Amino acid sequence: MQYVRFGNTDMTVSRLCLGGMMFSRKIDADGTRRVIDEALDCGVNFIDTAETYTDSEDYIGRALAGRREKVFLATKVYTRRAGEQVGRNSRANIELSLDRSLGQLRTDRIDLYQLHHPDAETPLDETLETLDRAIRSGKVRHVGVTNHYAWQCATMIERARARGFGAIVSIQCRCNILDRAVEMETVPMAQRFGLAMMPYAPLCGGMLTGKYERGGINRGNRAENDTKLQSLLTSDAAFDVIDQLRPIAAEHDVTLAQLAMLWLLAKPFVTTPILGGSKLEHFRPMYEIADRVMSGDVVKRIDEISSGFVHRRFENQPVKEGARL
């Protein structure tokens, strides 16, 4: 496993962050413990979850009993818990959610507390001041965002600086060989401000494992319920890319999924991709390639093959609400 400094922070994290979205949804409590055991054995020291991922926080908290200090823990806030009359990123909602997350995770500190989406209802200063208060109280070590436009991040960063509030240190966004729109705005912004960048959906929800066929759904897979994935299954452009990736994977003796992860790991703007999986066996193949480095020539070939996925409808947007800030 390789390690990297997390943006401008004091944290050194593994280059693979374990994603907890499927814990409790597709992986039960015992499975979660086994996935975490294996991750720790393979050198992972960073776990990402969210209060909205059903019972994921609870499962992780239980699995980490007695070994909490072995990992950096990241979670997110957005669910409306403090009533309909206050915004999701309001002081009331954040403080309630934060205490709940600390309880679920069975810890007194969250290492990275992230706004899951922007919230147009809440004044920015209220959100930033609340996050700052959480840092000062010791409940939160650093704060980050996910699914924000680059301009929203830049505004927040400058506002936090001007008011002397704790800094935004990271951004999570959808980023993989078939989702490259972030390269236009988000990546240059993250580099300009020294943000750590955490790509989620590194396998495009499973599409980049190569398990789907043109027009097919495949029962039991994520595409059964995921409309974005369903629309991709009718995209000849996406399957054309996958067809061109297959021989490259074979040439380098890796699976398509491993190739997709190696491409992300080779990108200088990527701090730590967030690893997903719905079965125990989905994780180990990624640890097996975590020390490999994809050559510049191969990265360039894949960049060219997938160049049609840079300029397209911008998708790294607030997916629920809050286009204004």
Ligand X SMILES: NC(=O)c1ccc[n+]([C@@H]2O[C@H](COP(=O)([O-])OP(=O)(O)OC[C@H]3O[C@@H](n4cnc5c(N)ncnc54)[C@H](OP(=O)(O)O)[C@@H]3O)[C@@H](O)[C@H]2O)c1
Report how many residues bind ligand X under the rule CB under 6 A: 25
Rounded Cα distance between 116 and 79, Å, is 9
How far apart are CB 265 and ligand X at their closest, in Å? 13
Choose which of 13, 86, 187, 201 interacts with ligand X (CB under 6 A). 201
Length of the chain in terms of residues written: 325
How far apart are CB 211 and ligand X at their closest, in Å? 5
DSSP structural state of residue 315 = -
Report residue 312 as tokens. Answer: 């397209």
Choose which of 24, 127, 172, 272 interacts with ligand X (CB under 6 A). 172
- Position 75 contacts ligand X (CB under 6 A): no
Choose which of 14, 33, 44, 48 interacts with ligand X (CB under 6 A). 48
Choose which of 6, 7, 11, 20 interacts with ligand X (CB under 6 A). 20
- Provide the 10 A C-beta neighbour count for residue 304: 10
- Position 61 contacts ligand X (CB under 6 A): no
The residue (of 85 and 225) whose beta carbon lies closer to ligand X is: 225
Report residue 216 as tokens. Answer: 């097919």
- The contact mask relative to ligand X for 140-169 (x = CB under 6 A, - = no) is ------xx----------------------
Task: Indicate the SS3 state at residue 200.
Answer: strand
DSSP structural state of residue 104 = H
Q: Which amino acid is at 169?
A: V
- Position 202 contacts ligand X (CB under 6 A): yes
Q: Give helix 124-137 / helix 150-163 axis angle, nearest 10°.
A: 60
The residue (of 45 and 209) whose beta carbon lies closer to ligand X is: 209
* Contact indicator for 27, 273 with CB cutoff of 8 Å: no
Rounded Cα distance between 110 and 169, Å, is 14
- Position 180 contacts ligand X (CB under 6 A): no
How far apart are CB 219 and ligand X at their closest, in Å? 10
Report residue 281 as tokens. Answer: 């066996």
Choose which of 200, 239, 263, 287 interacts with ligand X (CB under 6 A). 200
Task: Indicate the SS3 state at residue 14.
Answer: strand
- The contact mask relative to ligand X for 224-263 (x = CB under 6 A, - = no) is ---------------------------------x------
Segment lying near ligand X (by CB under 6 A), choices 18-26, 132-140, 245-253, 298-306: 18-26
Choose which of 109, 133, 211, 292 interacts with ligand X (CB under 6 A). 211
How far apart are CB 144 and ligand X at their closest, in Å? 10
Please name every residue paired with 197 in a beta bridge, in sequence order, or none if there are none: 171
Q: Give helix 91-105 / helix 124-137 axis angle, nearest 10°.
A: 40
Report residue 310 as tokens. Answer: 């840079």
DSSP structural state of residue 165 = P
Q: Which of residues 82-141 bind ligand X (CB under 6 A)?
A: none
Report residue 83 as tokens. Answer: 């009533």
Residue among 171, 95, 93, 86 at smallest CA distance from 134: 95
Segment lying near ligand X (by CB under 6 A), choices 102-110, 123-131, 206-214, 287-295: 206-214
- Position 203 contacts ligand X (CB under 6 A): yes
Binding positions for ligand X, rule: CB under 6 A: 19-22, 48, 146-147, 172, 200-206, 209, 211, 221-222, 257, 274, 276-278, 282
